[in-house]
């Protein structure tokens, strides 16, 4: 059996949204302090015994996500100007952005977790 290391880091951002077609309070504009956790799988360690420096992973994740979504109204941000900004859709979009814009030597994107509160989260992955 080959070694597998799953490495994760989190970033936080603040943003508002309003769920389209939802019957209830969340149809009105409201905000969250979101937490996004992204996980990559690695099969080997470098000479120091690391897969990747957590700071490096966090920095690239912040570079991809924060300028687009931090302190914004998500309904105004593509693709959520056309797609309902549910936690599920946001997590899937973060996964697509990470897959398209982050390349880590030896690393494969595994999943994105998106927490909209300390008790409520969605996990998105593609097999």
Where are the chain's structural domains? 5-124
72-73 and 5-17 beta bridge pairing: parallel
Give the span between the Cα atoms of 62 and 60, in whole angstroms. 5
CA atoms within 13 A of residue 115's CA, in its CB half-sphere: 12
User: Region 22-45: what's the mean pLDDT?
Assistant: 97
* pLDDT, tens only, 58-91: 999 999 999 999 999 999 999 999 999 999 999 9
- Superfamily name and number for 5-124: 6-pyruvoyl tetrahydropterin synthase/QueD (3.30.479.10)
User: Region 39-46: what's the mean pLDDT?
Assistant: 96
């Amino acid at each position: 059996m080959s070694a597998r290391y799953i490495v994760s880091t989190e970033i936080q951002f603040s943003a508002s949204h309003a769920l389209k077609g939802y019957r209830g309070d969340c149809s009105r504009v409201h905000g969250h302090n979101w937490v996004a956790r992204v996980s990559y799988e690695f099969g080997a360690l470098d000479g120091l015994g690391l897969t990747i420096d957590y700071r490096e992973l966090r920095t690239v994740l912040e570079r991809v996500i924060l300028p687009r979504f931090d302190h914004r109204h998500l309904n105004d941000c593509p693709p959520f100007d056309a797609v309902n900004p549910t936690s599920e859709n946001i997590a899937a979009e973060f996964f697509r952005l990470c897959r398209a814009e982050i390349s880590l030597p030896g690393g494969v994107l595994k999943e994105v977790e998106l927490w909209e509160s300390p008790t409520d989260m969605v996990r998105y992955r593609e097999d």
